[in-house]
Amino acid sequence: MGHPYLSLTDEERLQMLSDVGVGSVDELFVDIPSEILLKNDLEMPEGLSESELWAHGRMLAERNMSLDSNPSFLGAGVYQHLIPSAVKHVANRSEFVTAYTPYQAEISQGVLQAIFEYQTLICQLTGMDVANASLYDGATGLAEAALMAVATTRGKRVVTFESLHPDYLAVLATYLRAVDTELVVLPAKDGLADIESLKPFLNEETAAVMVQQPNFFGLLEPVDALGDLLKESPSLFVASVNPISLGILQAPSAYGADIVVGEGQPLGNPLAFGGPSFGFMAVLDKYIRRMPGRIVGQTADKNGNRGFVLTLQTREQHIRRHRATSNICTNAAHSALIGAVYLAVLGKQGLTEVATQCAQKAHYTAEQISAIPGWELVFSGSFFHEFVVKAPICAIEVERALLKEGIVGGLPLSKVYDDKKWENTMLFCVTEARTAREIEHLLQVLREVK
């Protein structure tokens, strides 16, 4: 169907123009300076048939560098993992794709069950008591945890470390500025949280201490020591974790975390140019009423049949924004569903295998790079699947050389930090998706970089 205006008669068009008080279409745009008005026809190509259009679209797409054929050693918060085909087949069923936040919740039993299963899996993964029905992403999830801690403890300070992802740090600062809460960023020593610098801040004024595990540099933070230090503190311990790493690392509950958040993209969600994805949050049971979002519970109907209900949601987020625990009024339901299907397909053994391959391949690659003359590991601490190396030349030149060979990444840290000490450093990531041949190709290019 064409535009309604084009289907009118000349008299009807004139009448419409008269009704709005102009004599011609040109008069509608009289406020636009004449020098920038288009005075000639648009240079539009002739129309294409459907098959021709598909061919043209494929030709344009082939001009992009696709990760289907170009290996990526780029991480820094979004990661390429192998996704079993069963995940797509289940998650892309029409009833899941079209489902949205259940406003008449109990009518949507299928959606509620999917959310319930997701929450259960997140609790099993983190070792925490209760999980919500997802947040937007890892960065806003951390900020929501900070707001939750402030509301719970009434403290007006949040403390974190330089080893936190810089994007997370920026989002956190924006959120806390809006609620008049101080953000203290303590130094990182050899890439890790400096615990000694934290001790003066452990008092009633500090609502939360936040740490990322693994941190932005890929290193494993001393979370056990942090947990011991915070046991007698009024401050809440917030951990931002990589969910894949929990296949081999201890659960956050084991080192005393009060709130656990993270980026869910690694759980079966594709890179997709950075989104959409989901953030997850899990807490101890005593903080359940301070947690944003929705919580689905399992129950039984009057006949004893299993059913699901929306157990808890913060209604103030809809009607009294100034009193809300959060102003996020929706959830990334489909992305979270993908995460749940991914975890269910892999199971405990499969997730452990993925995490183990990530760690083994990353450590092998790091050892091989550091053996190349002129290259060295920047930090000596333990890491999961990311690591920082120093190149013998400008890291941006290395990045360009890799791209010429069809290799994406690593990340030159001079693009992240405005400090000359990072000028020749790169953050590499190696997941289970990288093959031995791809790793050897990377090493060969690095050996030849001049």
Question: Is 253 within a domain?
Answer: yes
Separation CA 172–CA 183 (nearest Å): 8
By CB atoms closer than 10 A (0-12, 13-18, 19+), residue 160 is buried
| Residue 1: band (very low, low, confident or very high) from pLDDT cuts 50, 70, 90 | very low
Residue 239 and residue 91 share a domain: yes
Handedness of CA 166, 157, 185, 218 (dihedral sign): negative
Residue 369 and residue 273 share a domain: no
Determine the pLDDT at residue 13: 83
| Domain housing 133 | 85-344
Residue 297 and residue 227 share a domain: yes
Residue 182 and residue 253 share a domain: yes
Residue 362 and residue 337 share a domain: no
Percentage of the chain exceeding pLDDT 90: 67
Domain boundary residue, one of 323, 344, 365: 344
Separation CA 396–CA 383 (nearest Å): 24
Domain boundary residue, one of 299, 322, 344: 344
Return the CATH number at 362. Answer: 3.90.1150.10
Question: Is 10 within a domain?
Answer: no
Least reliable range by pLDDT among 88-97, 174-183, 428-437: 88-97
pLDDT in tens, 121-155: 999 999 999 999 878 899 999 999 999 999 999 99
Residue 225 and residue 213 share a domain: yes
By CB atoms closer than 10 A (0-12, 13-18, 19+), residue 308 is buried
Question: Is 321 within a domain?
Answer: yes
pLDDT at 32 over 60: yes
Domain count, the chain: 2
pLDDT in tens, 277-326: 899 999 999 998 888 878 888 888 889 999 888 887 655 455 566 666 67
Question: Is 48 within a domain?
Answer: no
Least reliable range by pLDDT among 98-102, 263-267, 349-353: 98-102
Residue 231 and residue 100 share a domain: yes
| Helix (H) or strand (E) segment spanning residue 390 | strand 386-390
Domain boundary residue, one of 319, 344, 369: 344
Q: CA geometry: angle at 235 spanning 233 and 236, to 5°?
A: 115
Residue 238 and residue 328 share a domain: yes
Question: Is 32 within a domain?
Answer: no
Determine the pLDDT at residue 103: 65
Determine the pLDDT at residue 226: 96
Q: Tell which wins on pLDDT, 27 or 327.
A: 27
Percentage of the chain exceeding pLDDT 70: 92
| Residue 26: band (very low, low, confident or very high) from pLDDT cuts 50, 70, 90 | confident
Determine the pLDDT at residue 330: 60
Phi-psi region of 304 (alpha: psi -120 to 50; beta: other; left: phi over 0): left
Residue 210 and residue 135 share a domain: yes
Question: Is 63 within a domain?
Answer: no
Return the CATH number at 287. Answer: 3.40.640.10
Q: What is the mean pLDDT of the chain?
A: 90
Residue 181 and residue 146 share a domain: yes
Question: Is 136 within a domain?
Answer: yes
pLDDT in tens, 48-85: 999 999 999 999 988 888 888 899 999 999 999 999 99
pLDDT (mean) for 185-206: 95
Question: Is 163 within a domain?
Answer: yes
Residue 361 and residue 303 share a domain: no
Least reliable range by pLDDT among 3-7, 267-271, 275-279: 3-7
Determine the pLDDT at residue 9: 85
pLDDT at 2 over 70: no
Residue 171 and residue 102 share a domain: yes
This prediction's pTM: 0.86
Separation CA 386–CA 380 (nearest Å): 13
